Amino acid sequence: MNFRKSSSAHSAEDAEREWFASLLWRAFPEARSENDLAELAAEVLTSDKRPVTPRTVRNWLRCENSPHFRYVLRVIALVGAEAVFQVIDPEVRS
């Protein structure tokens, strides 16, 4: 029995991570570098009970980890409604 993920499942997850990374760049257009973006996003996404570190944001930007849905929703809210349409129809370009 093979428990390896299929390549299509892997590439779908990669595409989702890449989409979120690009969404972060759109949410913080003032960022001039990955480190700058990581600092800005971590500050905005941190709450009293759930801190977000710049390292975590860098991992999202490098598509090494997937964010929790709560952060996806918050970044979508920062970007605006067109980001929702990208989730529904990935062919939509901004």
The chain-wide mean pLDDT, for the chain, equals: 86
pTM listed for this prediction? 0.78
Stretch (H or E) spanning 23: helix 7-27
Contact 13, 66 (CB under 8 A): yes
Kindly report, residue by residue over 40-72, the tens digit of the pLDDT.
Answer: 999 999 999 999 999 999 999 999 999 999 999
pLDDT at 75: 94
